[in-house]
A and B are shown apart, each in its own frame.
Chain A
């Protein structure tokens, strides 16, 4: 008798709960919806309100960085055509390199401003450094092989063959962009800026940073935002099916944090602190994304977030 009663009670609770839950949620929403001019308490801890510590403020001194040639100066010959084709692929990979691109990202999703921006892996700083030794592959890789890796990992696609026109165009574009840059010298603005770790990383803090600083463009759940007309992404997805896979460089927390610190939010570079960058990188790192092409599905299944 008692047993039956408890089961019955459970069911009542369960079904009642199911029925009532939406009402409950709605009531919560209603209770929280404020007037348009009202402001509600933050999810964020109150930030430091007094300047008590010395922080490193990034100073932009334009003379510091190499300035690549203007697009208007691309010559009007076959070489120029190749450069233009490379630039098209670079800014709209899904359309112009459809053959090899696998996801919603373009080259310029990471190498911002058509590969020109310092601290976002600018091409003019990279071109002269290749061939170089890479720890990731433990070999000396050429510029072309590096591009292949970009396609394979960051763009979750197919590595273009060395003789493909896409590859030729991209290398030509990079060469044109680094016209006048010294070869074999680590130029300022090369790669990503340095991020130092002082505390343990916390993905909860990262989530808050994501919601306050990133979500406005990259959308909820890191889905990115598509163009209003036409295909492709206006703001690239950060995780999910259409983002980079687990073998990409951005899947290293440190690399991602460096990129975020140096470039994000777009237009307000270096506005996030090292810790914020690392936290949000951790948060993004934890999300689901396509599997690492370097690993078998067994490894991917049992060790889903093992980087490299």
Chain B
């Protein structure tokens, strides 16, 4: 009983004070939109906001950086001649990780011996009997600069924005032999070299699988070949379990062309009703 009467008296005393009223009002004004945001389809409307923020950033850029659309296209469709990758419809976590890896200072040496093994669990490097755990890095003159200016929130917003954009691939024509060889490599790999098939990780049609395995179909051929080259030279070093590095090391120049041609020959669409 005493508790109730105490609260009553306390409230009466407080409500007589005007400053309390104004504080309450201010509090409500802050809380109400928040509550609306939280009560209504909670994540989706939040995501929507992030996406809008991402769109703003992508189309306008910020003080320090260029807009994404200057290179990656208005709808994130990339540039098939210049070999600039499409971003539309990629997995958001994949985009985020790549931006993080671009932002990370590139290592100056090939092999870094960390005093403590790091649990960037995805990237243990095995050199003979020597295993080195490194965070991933990815070289690209433009993107390294751009990514460094992005805050974690920016990365998140951009990832959400681009992952929701629609994209329709236009299949490119190549000669039959190239496509046939590319298909054989894509579906069966090179077993005698221990090289697995592309489809076994990148999905049955190369449409990507989850955050770890990006799509191959719908990416510019130039870009794909360029990335494999970068893996071979170590300029891209951010794959999980060094899987792609091992694979890239087995690919000949012909293989790269064949398989890239095969995947840019496929038709594909994402986020399209």
Q: Which residues of A contact B (CB under 8 A)?
A: 35-37, 39-51, 53-55, 57, 60, 62, 64-68, 70-72, 112-114, 116-119, 122, 211-213, 216-217, 225, 227-228, 234, 265-271, 273
Contacts and interface: CB of A to CB of B under 8 A. Distances in A.
A60 B194 contact: yes
5 contacts: A35-B152, A57-B128, A62-B190, A212-B124, A228-B203
B14 to A, nearest CB: 30
Interface string B118-147: 111110101011111101000000000000
Contacts of A72: 180, 184
Interface of B: 96, 100, 103-104, 113, 116-122, 124, 126, 128-133, 135, 152, 155, 180, 184, 187-197, 200-201, 203-204, 207, 209-210, 212, 240-244, 246-247
Contacts of A70: 184
Contacts of A57: 128-129
Nearest to A268: B246
Contacts of B113: 49
The 6 residue pairs across chains A and B that have the minimum distance between CB atoms: A55-B129, A42-B119, A116-B191, A117-B191, A46-B117, A39-B118
A211 B189 contact: no
A270 B196 CA distance: 13
A113 B188 CA distance: 5
Contact of B204 (A36, A54, A66, A227): A227
A214 B128 CA distance: 20
Contacts of B133: 42, 47
Given A113-B189, A117-B194, A212 B121 contact: yes
Given A48-B130, A212-B124, A228-B203, A118 B191 contact: yes
Contact of B103 (A37, A43, A271): A37
A262 to B, nearest CB: 9
Contact of B129 (A43, A46, A53, A67): A53
A267 B247 contact: yes
B120 A268 contact: no
Given A48-B130, A60-B194, A267-B196, A213 B241 contact: yes
B184 A71 contact: yes
Contacts of B190: 62
Nearest to A122: B191
Nearest to B240: A216
Contacts of A35: 152
A203 to B, nearest CB: 19
Contacts of A118: 191-192, 194
B117 A44 contact: yes
Given A36-B152, A46-B117, A113 B129 contact: no
B126 A271 contact: yes
Contacts of B209: 225, 228, 234
B146 to A, nearest CB: 16
Nearest to B200: A266
A211 B121 CA distance: 9
A190 B216 CA distance: 32
A216 B196 contact: no
B201 A216 contact: no
The CB with the most chain B CB atoms within 10 A, among A42, A47, A267, is that of A267
